[in-house]
Amino acid sequence: MLTKSQEEYLKTMYILKINEKEIRVTDIANKMNVSKASVNKAINNLKEKGYINYETYGKIELTSIGENTAKKVLEAYDIIYVFLKDVIGIEEKKAKIEAENLKGSMEDSTINKLAKYTHKVLNLSNLDCDYDISNERCRTCKRRAND
Q: Indicate if the alpha-carbon torsion angle 136, 138, 139, 140 is positive or negative.
A: positive
Domain that holds residue 100: 71-146
Instruction: Give the chain's domain count.
Output: 2
Co-location of 52 and 107 in the same domain: no
Co-location of 140 and 76 in the same domain: yes
Q: Would you place residue 51 in the very low, low, confident or very high pLDDT band (cuts 50, 70, 90)?
A: very high
Question: Residue 60, by phi and psi: left (phi above 0), alpha (psi -120 to 50) or beta?
Answer: beta
Query: Residue 146 pLDDT more than 50?
Result: no
State the Cα–Cα distance between residues 65 and 63, nearest whole angstrom: 5
Co-location of 41 and 76 in the same domain: no
Co-location of 25 and 55 in the same domain: yes
CATH of the domain at 55: 1.10.10.10
Co-location of 75 and 138 in the same domain: yes
Q: Would you place residue 127 in the very low, low, confident or very high pLDDT band (cuts 50, 70, 90)?
A: very low
pTM over cut 0.85: no
Q: Would you place residue 138 in the very low, low, confident or very high pLDDT band (cuts 50, 70, 90)?
A: low
